[in-house]
Amino acid sequence: MPSIYVAGILVCLFSLPTAAQRSEELNFASGLEQFQDLRRMLPTYLNNIGFQMLAERKARMEKLSTIEEVNQRRDYLRQRMLDDLGGFPERTPLNARVTGVVERPKYRIEKVIFESQPHFYVTANLYLPKTGHPPYPAILFPLGHERGGKTNPTWQQMLASFATKGYVALTWDPIGQGERLQIYDEDLRESKVGDSTTEHTIVGTQCLLTGDHVARYTIWDGMRALDYLLSRKEVDPARVGLTGNSGGGTHTAYLAALDDRIKVAAPSCYITSWNLMLRTIGPQDAEQVFPWWLQDGIDYPDYLYAFAPKPYLMLSAIRDFFPIAGARETFAEAAKVYAAIGAKEKVGMFEADDGHGYNQGRRLAAYDWFGRWLSGGEDKSPEPEIEMSTPEELRATPTGQVATSLGGESVFTLNLKRLERAKATRFRRPDDVARKAKELAHYEVSSAPLKQNPYGTLSGSGYHIERLIYESEPGIVIPSLLYVPDAGADKKPALLMIVGEGKADSAAEADEFVKAGVIVLSIDARGLGETRVTAEVNSREFDHYFGDYDDAMTALLVGKTMVGMRALDITRGVDLLSARPDVDPNRVYVYGKDGGAVPALYAAVFDHRIKKLALEGMLSSYESVVKNKVHRQVFESIVPRALKFYDLPDLVATLVPRDVWIVNGNDPMGHQLPASEVSKEYSRAADAFRQAGAERAIHIQDRRPGEDASMIYRELTDGH
């Protein structure tokens, strides 16, 4: 975006405008041409960091040329994946059983249930040839996000074709799909939250908070499915292939990278490059994105290196939403490495001029690839005609849902158990909590001189509003409104306001505070207010649940968090206030509301210049997100792995003996909780204040509809 440091300063004095006029004048983009791109600021900033990390990785990969170096790369990828996943569960008995059989002339389908973890039931279909001689080559077939789970007609076509061609083929319902909906509603007879990708990201958010990754469960299901496949006497363990489309392509890449038992791999409609992903569709659902991936120097070709020099075929669609240009980038890089290690013929790429899906062209290419490497020759035969089975014929449970037929565990219940174990080792000393919070939030204090520029003045009743912008860090500018009383003491208390809907939405409250004699700096921290990506820019269908998911997840990819970045924006605002001659630097306070509350809390933990803190409409705790099956609009406020070390009440406890207000706390769905409920969650924090003799410094209360901010925060505004 253009620099904010332009020649000349716009200084205007307006008479008191109407409410509609005032709302427009409080925003910069509406009147100043150079700020029309404010809503692209955050994604541009994050993407540029990602591009730089990818460029550094590319320079390193150009030197990759020996099998020893490729093996080192494989080991590095595996270690990073295992760290992000939180490790794998213990390998326990599968307790597999066949619940029914579907007979076809050339193959049969066994309906199978096994336990990838104790009482964590996986529903599967095993396709077995009736011709030829065992042991047969085998195909492990992870599924994509298409509706129907394992009963989808495309999957039936491919699995039955493999069986007809003499392979044993196994597929299973992923979590959130088919018979394994994790948030099942018996009245709706579907997931409470709709699509499988939404389910994945809801439980994925909960897993991130406890220090794991939702792919820990999906990958482990695949590894245990492979255990079951190899337990069958009909299968030749030396000839096992792996293929799937979309989300199944994702897990083809994952499983091939992690499990040496796979001999041939062919992911469809998944492999691309992060360079192109950042430029186009951005991060996908939680199972497909690993935090810190770009910071760790990892890109899609690394999946191929982890499998090299074994045969790997990329199946791509020219008109896929996974960018074909990225797939070509990855293939070019990987093909060069495969050639360098003497395995040029073992990597391939097939493109079809069609859209997303395991369409016939890619299916035929897959049959040929697996025939070449697992069955001793090319397979150019046409795809056989397959008799489709009904969902009822293929389901392994009586009701068609594990939740109603078997009960048992879900990702939600397993993650709860992980939470309880993590709580036993949680930090207790305030200094340790603060230090870990700074580390996990990836908060980096800035020592650079603060740059700011004024953009005109508005008049108020007994005060004036200075429109200004300050630079939080290179590439990030913070549109702000500074409310200054026209009279009063030479040095006044100052209040920084950060509200989820932005500075224009908080004008009425700012008016109350400034009339109480307080200088107010109301800011649009990055991604809030007029710097927020609009629906036109970010139209992801599940933003109803996750807010600005693209930017929040991209931040994690490059080693940042939305919370940590916004906390920096706040502390830079404190820099601005503390340097003003009309501000008493010993009376600088912060008021965070709704989406601004959690970043305000972190900022106060990191910056002791903030002497008082008001938090209104804040998520009551991270733990509540894990303990409630469904949550909404909390993704921007999470810090991965936080619950291994602390929760939001623990952060409040570090503020002793500073004054803290917690008003109208919210549950994970955004519903207001009564103060009595919030007090229960903050009992540990209240104890910390009490033990320090500062029990009157923590205020947990309700704010009634229509109650003035200056009244409920009277002690905040009077400077005492």
pLDDT digits (tens, 9 = 90+) for 218-255: 999 999 999 999 999 999 999 999 999 999 999 999 99
How many H-runs (helices) and E-runs (strands) does the chain carry?
26, 21
232: which 2 tokens?
């069958």
* Helix then strand then coil, % of the chain, to nearest 5: 40, 20, 40
Structure tokens at 582: 């009309």
For residue 621, being part of any structural domain is answered with yes
Strands 136-141 and 168-172, bridge-based pairing: parallel
Question: Are 74 and 194 within one domain?
Answer: yes
What does the pLDDT read at residue 24?
A: 66
310 plus 442 within the same structural domain = no
CATH at residue 530: 3.40.50.1820
Kindly give the pairing relationship between strand 659-663 and strand 107-117.
unpaired
Cα(679)–Cα(701) distance, integer angstroms: 9
Nearest by Cα to 81 from 390, 287, 356, 338: 287
Answer whether residue 30 is part of any domain: no
What is d(CA 29, CA 22) in angstroms, rounded to the nearest whole number?
14
Q: What confidence score (pLDDT) does residue 9 get?
A: 27
Of the residues 377, 403, 421, the one at which a domain ends: 421
Q: How many CB atoms lie within 10 A of CB 553?
A: 23
47 found inside a domain:
no
Give the per-residue pLDDT at 540.
52
Same domain for 417 and 433: no
Instruction: Please state, in angstroms and rounded to a whole number, the distance separating the CA atoms of residues 443 and 569.
Output: 10
23 pLDDT band, cuts 50/70/90, is: low
* Residue 199 resides in a domain: yes
The answer to whether residue 26 is domain-embedded is: no
Residue 379 has which token pair? Answer: 């397979």
Q: What pLDDT is stored for residue 33 in this prediction? A: 60
Assigned domain for 31 exists: no
Distance of alpha carbon 689 from alpha carbon 658, whole angstroms: 9
Round to whole Å and give the CA distance between 57 and 39: 29
Residue 313 and residue 207 share a domain: yes
Task: For 441-455, write each residue's pLDDT tens digit.
Answer: 999 988 889 999 999
Task: Please give the pLDDT value at position 158.
Answer: 98
Phi, then psi, of 102 in degrees rounded to 5: -110, 120
Q: What is the pLDDT of residue 716?
A: 83
Nearest-angstrom CA–CA distance, 136 and 147: 30
| Phi, psi angles (nearest 5°) of residue 42 | -65, -50
Question: Do residue 311 and residue 404 come from a single domain?
Answer: yes
How far, in Å, are 195, 294, 627 from residue 285 at the CA level?
Answer: 11, 17, 21
Task: Specify the pLDDT at position 31.
Answer: 58
Is residue 176 within 8 Å of 191, Cβ to Cβ? yes
Instruction: Count up the domains in the chain and report the number.
Output: 2
What would you measure as the largest C-alpha separation in the chain, in angstroms? 95
What is the pLDDT of the chain when averaged over all its residues?
Answer: 93
Beta strands 264-268; 235-245: pairing state:
parallel
Of 600, 427, 412, the residue nearest 500 (C-alpha): 600
437 plus 364 within the same structural domain: no
* Residue 498: band (very low, low, confident or very high) from pLDDT cuts 50, 70, 90: very high
Reference 418, options 175, 181, 644; nearest CA is 644
Count of CB atoms within 10 A of residue 294's CB?
25
Output b/e per residue, 654-689; b: 16+ Cβ within 10 A: bbbebbbbbbbbbbbeeeebebeebbebbeebbebb
Q: Are residues 406 and 504 in the same domain?
A: no
pLDDT at 4 over 50: no
A 10 A CB-CB count for 355 gives 12
| CA–CA dist 75, 566 (Å, integer) | 35
Q: Say whether pLDDT at 619 is over 90.
A: yes
Look at residue 184 and tell me if it is in a domain.
yes
Candidates 257, 267, 255, 254; CA nearest to 229 is 255
How many whole angstroms separate alpha carbon 179 and alpha carbon 401?
4
The dihedral region occupied by 272, where left means phi > 0, alpha psi between -120 and 50, and beta the remainder, is beta
How far apart, in whole angstroms, are the C-alpha atoms of residue 29 and residue 706?
Answer: 30
DSSP state of 246: T
End-to-end CA distance of the chain: 42
> How much is the pLDDT for 537?
40
pLDDT at residue 424 tops 90: no
| Strand ranges, E, within 7-53 | 13-14
Assigned token pair, 55:
């460029």
Encode burial over 380-405: b for 16+ CB neighbours within 10 A, e otherwise: eeeeeebeebeeeebbbbeebbbbeb
Task: Find the length of the chain.
Answer: 720
Distance CA 226, CA 224 (A): 5
> Is the same domain home to 287 and 148?
yes
> Could you tell me if residue 536 is inside a domain?
yes
Which domain, by its residues, includes 414? 67-421
Structure tokens, 1: 């975006």
417 plus 443 within the same structural domain: no
Q: What is the pLDDT of residues 399-417, one digit of tens each?
A: 999 999 999 999 999 999 9
Is the same domain home to 439 and 374? no
- Report, as an integer, the average pLDDT of 332-361: 98
The token pair at 506 is 């908080």
Four-residue CA torsion sign, 238, 244, 248, 252: positive
Q: Which two tokens stand for residue 484?
A: 């200054």
Among 332-336, 531-535, 589-593, the range scoring the smallest mean pLDDT is 531-535
Residues 439 and 391 in one domain: no
Whether residues 140 and 180 share a domain: the answer is yes
Query: Residue 28: is its pLDDT beyond 80?
Result: no
